[in-house]
Amino acid sequence: MPSITRRQVLRLLAAGPGAAVLAACGPSAPASPTSAPSSAASPAPAAPIATAALPASSSSPAAASPSGSPGASPAASPVAVSAPPPTAASAPAIASASSRGALTVALSLPPQSLDPSLYIPFENNSIAAHFYEPLVSRDSQMRLQPHLAESYSRLNDTTWQFKLRPGVKFHNGEPFDAAAVKFSIERTLGNDRAPMRANISAIERVDVLDALTANIVTKGPYPLLPASLVGWGALIVPPAYASDPSGPLATRPVGTGPYTFVEWIKDDRVRMEAFDGYWRAPAAIKQVTFRTIPETATRLAELRTGGVDLAVAVSPSDVPGLDSGADTKSLQTTSVQVMRLAPYIERGGPLAVVQVRQALNYAIDWDAIVKTILGGLGKRDTLVVPPEAFGADRSIAPYPYDPVRAKALLAEGGYGGGFSTSITFRQGQLRGDEIAQAVAGFFGAVGVKTEVKQVEAGIFTEMQRSRSFDFVLGTWGGNGMFDADQYLVPTFRTGQTNAAYPDPELDVMLDRARVTLEASERAALYKQALTLVHDRALNVFGPQLFTLFGARKSLVWTARPDELVHAYDMTFA
């Protein structure tokens, strides 16, 4: 197809039969602020046993993996991973806190909850990461490293042992220990409303051996256990505080992280301050505010006028202006997020017909959308699983743009005369309206009339739970595992919140891959699974994205592929 302009992509919408936009349920007025609990206001100081930044472990499973990619599987033989003792020499070079002690970040979406076991829009995981910490984390290069765990090892096919850091305390003075690990993991596993439960569903139980030793026992062989503990289903919470029946954790978070909660004004801002008793080196930036600013133009205006220091979800068209600004710059990195249109096949109708789903894949010119709407910041090298993750397979190519083939498949599936459908996307999604409208235009060009619906995050979550969509436009991929499992199980495995169609044959492949220790065998199973997902067109497959930020020139920070925004890693020049 000849190159087309962004204007032509959007004009194509007008050629389609009657696409419309429904902006449902705009943001509510700010509620009364929620302040920090009094018990967290004066925490018992921890005895800091690590006075340097957390070092990367050169012996992590990622570094030793056969593929060499950040998410590759650990070797089949038992492994042991330890963090080297922190030394003053390994501490990061941090400018004096007196140079700039406060940071304000502009997000596009408000948090729905500050409880790490519950669903919150992806970018708001950045807020949670300031309060809560995992046993295992990833460094800036996405390599696995011990975090609240001092070391971990696989004892046998189903048992992993974690040695915990001594002297670590929660913000309210509760001790971090093996009992807290057991409580936190089993709390998520026991909550059927916790979407991130899928990340750790392979865990059978947690055994407490002593205060600083916990054994995590899986239901079967599970090579992804350390990587699964990075995600939001396994952040560690204080047992006594989190057991409060009034549920304060959702609005007044308490963890072991480098920042303590100060205030949450719903739909407006979350404020926090550095934790004096933090077990690592103290944070250079002492006060942090995350503001909710849904409109990109407003986020950028606030950046240019000094109202914020960092703005997320910047548009590609804004990059030249940021880079030429007197006090602004752009930051970018390849994202682990992959765009997708997920059809809720279980609702029946045209989307339950495989030829129709294949037709809609052929109907969209994603290359034109990437070029004209995303400013070239996207790529389609693989299907579903990005090439940085274990299990990606470049031999399974995405569908090419072929509207003639699309029309033929619609006729073959019994819908040659077209039909009506809808695309729903969450408010604040980067270029969500333009992309959804462009997709609706391409659909319309092959005879599928498409309504576009934009809804706020809270309503989106409820619609997701009630499965009230035809198509969802969104992205997937940021829960920290860097493995095909993270892309396939939550979005396709029967019974998962984000999976829209039961496919027993696919379930068998995914379940086998989860318990296969040999990396080459796992890769072969993922190839089978991706082939099935492609051939049955279980999604309309979009591009892998890039992440863009706008920042003040004085902000020193390297954007991460997992898109986490963490003030602890920042300073001002």
Residue 121: its pLDDT value, please? 61
CATH tag for 6-24+335-546 (out of 3.30.1330.10, 3.10.105.10, 3.40.50.10860, 3.40.50.970): 3.10.105.10
Q: Which of 293, 300, 299 is nearest to 268 (CA)?
A: 293
Distances (CA, A) of 538 to 289, 500, 535: 40, 9, 8
Contact 368, 509 (CB under 8 A): no
Residue 354 scores a pLDDT above 80: yes
With bands split at pLDDT 50, 70 and 90, how would you rate the model's confidence at 73?
very low
Mean pLDDT of 270-289: 97
Residue 7: its pLDDT value, please? 54
pLDDT, tens digit, 9 for 90 and up, residues 303-328: 999 999 999 988 888 999 999 999 99
Strand runs (DSSP E) across 345-481, as ranges?
Answer: 378-379, 419-426, 448-455, 471-476
Residue 4: its pLDDT value, please? 45
What b/e sequence results for 432-469 when a residue is b if at least 16 CB atoms lie within 10 Å of its CB, and e otherwise? bebbbbbbbbbbbbbbbbbbbbbbbbbbbbebbeeeeb
Residue 119: its pLDDT value, please? 62
Residue 175: its pLDDT value, please? 98
Amino acid at 506: L
Mean pLDDT of 231-258: 93
Highest mean pLDDT among 17-26, 36-45, 366-375: 366-375
Count of CB atoms situated within 10 Å of the CB of 239: 18
pLDDT, tens digit, 9 for 90 and up, residues 383-392: 999 988 899 9
**What is the Cα–Cα distance from 339 to 545, expressed in whole angstroms?**
7
With bands split at pLDDT 50, 70 and 90, how would you rate the model's confidence at 74?
very low
Residue 37 scores a pLDDT above 60: no
**What is the Cα–Cα distance from 362 to 186, expressed in whole angstroms?**
44
Strands across the sheet containing 213-218: 80-82, 149-154, 159-164, 213-218, 203-210
With bands split at pLDDT 50, 70 and 90, how would you rate the model's confidence at 130?
very high
Residue 93 scores a pLDDT above 50: no
With bands split at pLDDT 50, 70 and 90, how would you rate the model's confidence at 140?
confident
- Which ranges in 198-251 belong to alpha helices (H)? 225-228, 239-242
The model carries a pTM of: 0.70
**What is the Cα–Cα distance from 476 to 453, expressed in whole angstroms?**
19
For the chain, percent of residues with pLDDT exceeding 70: 81
Residue 504: its pLDDT value, please? 93
- Which ranges in 98-177 belong to alpha helices (H)? 125-131
Residue 83: its pLDDT value, please? 62
Contacting residues for 524 by C-beta, under 8 A, at least 6 apart:
none
Mean model confidence pLDDT for the chain:
83
For the chain, percent of residues with pLDDT exceeding 90: 60
Q: Where are the domains of the chain?
A: 6-24+335-546
With bands split at pLDDT 50, 70 and 90, how would you rate the model's confidence at 97?
very low
Q: Which residues pair with 218 in a beta bridge?
A: 203
Residue 29: its pLDDT value, please? 38
Residue 238 token pair: 């204080």
Residue 351 scores a pLDDT above 70: yes
pLDDT, tens digit, 9 for 90 and up, residues 430-471: 788 999 999 999 999 999 999 999 998 888 888 877 888 899
With bands split at pLDDT 50, 70 and 90, how would you rate the model's confidence at 50?
very low
3-state DSSP assignment of residue 150: strand
Rounded to whole angstroms, the maximal C-alpha distance in the chain is: 71
Q: DSSP letters along 181-199, please?
A: HHHHHHHHHT-TT-GGGGG
Q: What is the 3 state secondary structure string of 462-486? A: HHHHHCCCCEEEEEECCCCCCEHHH
Residue 427 token pair: 């408010």
HSE-CB at 31 with a 13 A cutoff on CA atoms is 12
Residue 11: its pLDDT value, please? 56
Residue 60: its pLDDT value, please? 31
Q: Which of 469, 479, 410 is nearest to 444 (CA)?
A: 410
Q: Which of 484, 487, 481 is nearest to 523 (CA)?
A: 484
**What is the Cα–Cα distance from 32 to 233, expressed in whole angstroms?**
29
pLDDT, tens digit, 9 for 90 and up, residues 508-564: 999 999 889 899 999 999 999 999 999 999 999 999 998 899 999 999 999 988 888
Contact 333, 559 (CB under 8 A): yes
Lowest pLDDT segment from 67-71, 114-118, 381-385: 67-71
HSE-CB at 169 with a 13 A cutoff on CA atoms is 17
**What is the Cα–Cα distance from 362 to 571, expressed in whole angstroms?**
47
pLDDT, tens digit, 9 for 90 and up, residues 561-573: 888 899 999 999 9
For residue 336, give the H/E element and its range: strand 328-343
Residue 423 scores a pLDDT above 70: yes
Q: Which of 538, 500, 492, 504 is nearest to 357 (CA)?
A: 538
With bands split at pLDDT 50, 70 and 90, how would you rate the model's confidence at 44?
very low
